Amino acid sequence: MHAAYDPNKQGWGAALITCVFTGALLFSAWTIHKNTYRHPRDPMNVQVYHDRDMAAAGSHAPAAAGGEHEAPKTEGAAAH
């Protein structure tokens, strides 16, 4: 004869596999985040993107007016 049907004993294997898989996905996402995230105020963040953007622009990028990378002006120079 068959055992009596008990719905409380069905599907626990699938639930366990789902929970383990979810935990593995969360751990993977956390590991990737810890290894690749850079805070917006990270000093290296600015340097990396600035160098990359300048390399892509080549020498055709215009100088910023009054920016911190502008060459110092000398007094008494003739204005053009």
Domain assignment of residue 49, yes or no: yes
Residue 77: per-residue pLDDT = 56
Q: What is the pLDDT of residues 37-57, one digit of tens each?
A: 888 777 777 776 677 778 888
With 80 as the cut, is the pLDDT of residue 1 above it?
no
Q: How many residues does the chain have?
A: 80
Is pTM, for the whole model, over 0.75?
no
How many domains would you assign to the chain?
A: 1
Domain assignment of residue 23, yes or no: yes
Domain assignment of residue 77, yes or no: no
Q: List the domain range (segments joined by +) for residue 33.
A: 19-55
Residue 59: per-residue pLDDT = 56
Residue with more model confidence, 76 or 13: 13
